[in-house]
Chain A
Amino acid sequence: MSNTEHHDYFGAKLGMWLFLFTELLLFGGLFLLYAVYFKRYPEEFAAGGRQLDWVLGTVNTLILLTSSLFAAMAVTAVQRSEQRRSMALIGGTVLCAAGFLVIKYVEWSAKISHGIYPGAERLKSGDPGESVFFGLYYLTTGLHGLHVLIGGILLVWIAVKVKNGAVTADNGILLENGALYWHLVDLIWIFIFPLYYLML
């Protein structure tokens, strides 16, 4: 029957958007905690934000924005049947993802070497507001980092599909949905960045 073929473009798009909603709500729980605890500890949150490296945060923001641009261009390239260019652009997105994670690793290790990590003695015995700030920081950026990792793996898999000719101009929904997921990962960072790094 015609309506059950796997080419229901709008159906696949609708399903993906619904999934993205669930991702937003997943992070929504953490943002909710942020809002409540920020109201309770505004000064400690500002002090915590100053301890984060806003330069590295800004670089990571630019990296993610660039990666999203690559992802969008990769979609357009497939629509123009330029498979090789599309693969190169997906490769660019994945490289950006890797760069983002490396910088995140540098940031985390610097903090951990200063004795700031969940369950650390310094946070346990120190200011409660600071403990809450960094607890949320690690959980939120950690969950986001996990999404970057998953998104990167997803895009590599899609690039293989593009190479095999399974993603074409007529049937590019897989890449479009992959790019949508990537934009979501980007979007969530756009909220994380000012909330944590630009708290002055």
Chain B
Amino acid sequence: MNPAQLPRSSFWNDTGKSGITAWIFSIDHKRIGLLYLFTTFSFFLVGVILGLLLRIELMAPGRTIMGAQTYNALFTVHGVVMIFLFILPGFPGAFGNLVMPIQIGARDVAFPRLNLLSWWLYVTGAAIVLTSLFTGGGPPDTGWTFYVPFSTRTVTNVTLAVFGVFVIGFSAILTGLNFVTTIHRLRAEGMTWGKLPLFVWSLYATAWVQILATPILAITLVLVMAERLLGTGLFDPGRGGDPLMYQHLFWIYSHPAVYIMILPAMGVISDIIPVFARKPVFGYKMIAFSSLAIAAAGSLVWGHHMFTSGMSDTAVLVFSFLTFIVAIPSAIKVFNWVATLYKGSISLEAPMLFALSFILLFSIGGLSGLILGAAATDVHVHDTHFVVGHFHYVMFGGTGFAFFGAMHYWLPKFYGRRYAEKPALVAWALMFTGFNILYFTMQVLGMQGMPRRYYDYLPEFSSLNLAATVGSWILAAGMVIMLVNLFRGLLKGEPAGNNPWGGATLEWTISSPPPTENFAAEPVVTHGPYDFSKTGAP
């Protein structure tokens, strides 16, 4: 390790502006990125606490710590907070903003003020969602999917919650169009499309999904509000409407949305693995292309959420087939990551451990997705805990672990200091163990027939539910260690130096933490993002 020093000035202090207003009204992409990181991650922790409470309730049959209505509200709010307040805005907002402009050699995003507006819209929407929990008829109890007819009839505060999500949708659209424009217009000289880091490629695909899918969510939520406030009856079968149309509209957005959640995570993994295997990434073009392929094919598969809703058999067949097609680009990524590892000089530091566990957990999640994507098997496990396990393997084991990996990989760059390695490894081991105990058990429970979103269950499911709850405690313990270690290290740890991991992308060429203007002079890119022969190895 080089005897590194912290630079005297950086984006933390070199504008001479400090205090809260210099942050919440800053148009610097790094400050906005950190704002996103702290707001979205705070909501993640809220979601974690709600999840832990749900697991305690399910620890034993019957009432454990809460009543049925509270349980319904908690799983709804857990879903809404995790999906709309953390995982959708989290990756593009936090790491997209922090890293992407630097990786393409730009001073900032294309529309810095719009970027700040995105964050403000996000915070406003989040505040509205939070308000909905404590006002009116109380927190919504519909599940995060807001399915009609229940969502149009329940007396809980669905209207306000839906409006909050609508506002957050605006924020996502603006981030998406900002990133697409940035990647098209602001690449430094020599930063051709073939030299873009794969994280940028994945954000590019994500941004397109944000642009093309989010408006459908917006209009769907407007329709739910109109049903509740005006009584238009467009989803009411008694008045000529069709509730199935709600499900179509909702999933036309919400299935592509899971690719908004997973694609940036795949990008991080594609960046981390070559650095810690000290080998150029295998199949760069195919990984980049598969991001676009996932975004495109993933937009055509929404019907697989509705196999048991009463679609025609033809529709079921077509959607099932298209769903299997998405597995191809996903598998391309997994095979290329594994091929990158082959004969690499692998160093098992914290970011790499998260990346490797991502491959395993995402594969389990993805393959269980195929069980759900095949119509014949889906009928048996639909709406069981198998679905809950599958979803959390992809979203938490996938995106969540990638998010943790990104925090360990990139935050030393932005704080200029390192966390301690050993506690990071202990935290990872605990989380990985707890995670699998928690969610693999859920998949088994689902196979045995335990439905999801039920308050109570049959006594024969008791022991596995107890195991899952214990798993959730191990997972939480690991998370506490990780956070304490991470933030203690970032505030007081050893200086990280410009390039602690020996990465070859542009963010490692500038000081840690970076100056406000990122690059003293506009960089000229001469080598690829994974060409390690050109970087000084640590």
Interface residues in chain A, defined as those with a beta carbon under 8 Å from any beta carbon in chain B: 1-4, 8, 10-11, 14-15, 18-19, 21-30, 32-33, 36-37, 40-41, 44, 118-119, 123-124, 127-132, 135-136, 138-139, 143
A3 to B220 CA separation, bound complex (whole angstroms): 38
| Chain A neighbourhood of B522, CB < 8 A | 1-3
With A8-B110, A14-B185: A26-B233 Cβ-Cβ less than 8 Å: no
| Chain A neighbourhood of B111, CB < 8 A | 11, 15
Residue of B176, B185, B240, B245 with most chain A CB atoms under a 10 A cut-off = B240
* Chain B residue nearest in CB terms to A134: B232
Q: Please tell me if B215 contacts chain A, counting CB pairs below 8 Å.
A: yes
* Chain A residue nearest in CB terms to B178: A15
Q: Which of B110, B177, B220, B239 contacts A131 (CB 8 A)?
A: B239
Which of B33-41, B222-230, B318-326, B334-342 is found at the contact surface with chain A?
B222-230
Q: Please tell me if B234 contacts chain A, counting CB pairs below 8 Å.
A: yes
CB <8 Å contact, B230 and A119: yes
CB <8 Å contact, B249 and A32: yes
Q: Please tell me if B494 contacts chain A, counting CB pairs below 8 Å.
A: no
* Chain A residue nearest in CB terms to B238: A128
A129 to B222 CA separation, bound complex (whole angstroms): 21
Q: Which of A8, A27, A130, A136 contacts B185 (CB 8 A)?
A: A8
CB <8 Å contact, B220 and A29: yes
* Chain B residue nearest in CB terms to A5: B107
Shortest CB distance B236–A (Å): 9
CB <8 Å contact, B186 and A28: no
Q: Which of A1, A11, A19, A41 contacts B240 (CB 8 A)?
A: A41
**Interface of chain B residues 235 through 277 with chain A (CB within 8 A):** 238-242, 245, 248-249, 252
Q: Please tell me if B108 contacts chain A, counting CB pairs below 8 Å.
A: yes
With A10-B185, A33-B245, A136-B234: A3-B215 Cβ-Cβ less than 8 Å: no
A25 to B519 CA separation, bound complex (whole angstroms): 38
Q: Which of A10, A29, A44 contacts B216 (CB 8 A)?
A: A29
Shortest CB distance A174–B (Å): 13
CB <8 Å contact, B107 and A22: no
**Interface of chain B residues 203 through 224 with chain A (CB within 8 A):** 211-212, 214-216, 218-220, 222-223
| Chain B neighbourhood of A28, CB < 8 A | 215-216, 219
13 cross-chain CB contacts under 8 A: A1-B107, A4-B108, A11-B110, A15-B178, A18-B211, A19-B177, A26-B219, A128-B238, A131-B233, A139-B222, A139-B223, A139-B234, A143-B222
**Pairs of residues from A and B, 5 with the lowest C-beta to C-beta distance, nearest first:** A128-B240, A119-B231, A29-B219, A25-B215, A135-B232
CB <8 Å contact, A21 and B212: yes
With A1-B522, A30-B219: A37-B240 Cβ-Cβ less than 8 Å: yes
With A4-B186, A25-B212, A29-B216: A36-B245 Cβ-Cβ less than 8 Å: yes
CB <8 Å contact, A14 and B226: no
With A28-B215, A36-B242, A131-B233: A22-B173 Cβ-Cβ less than 8 Å: yes
| Chain B neighbourhood of A26, CB < 8 A | 215-216, 218-219
Q: Which of B107, B218, B226, B238 contacts A118 (CB 8 A)?
A: B226
* Chain A residue nearest in CB terms to B239: A131
Q: Please tell me if B124 contacts chain A, counting CB pairs below 8 Å.
A: no
CB <8 Å contact, B110 and A135: no
A119 to B239 CA separation, bound complex (whole angstroms): 10
* Chain A residue nearest in CB terms to B240: A128
CB <8 Å contact, A22 and B232: no
* Chain A residue nearest in CB terms to B101: A4
* Chain B residue nearest in CB terms to A1: B107
Q: Which of A3, A14, A123, A128 contacts B180 (CB 8 A)?
A: A14
With A124-B239, A131-B233: A3-B181 Cβ-Cβ less than 8 Å: no
Q: Which of B186, B214, B219, B233 contacts A123 (CB 8 A)?
A: B233
Q: Please tell me if B106 contacts chain A, counting CB pairs below 8 Å.
A: yes
Shortest CB distance A8–B (Å): 6
A19 to B114 CA separation, bound complex (whole angstroms): 12
| Chain A neighbourhood of B180, CB < 8 A | 14, 18
With A36-B242, A131-B233: A14-B222 Cβ-Cβ less than 8 Å: no
Give me 16 other A-B pairs in contact (C-beta within 8 A), A3-B106, A15-B178, A37-B240 excluded: A3-B107, A3-B185, A11-B110, A11-B185, A14-B181, A14-B184, A14-B185, A15-B110, A15-B111, A22-B215, A27-B219, A29-B215, A33-B223, A36-B242, A40-B240, A131-B233
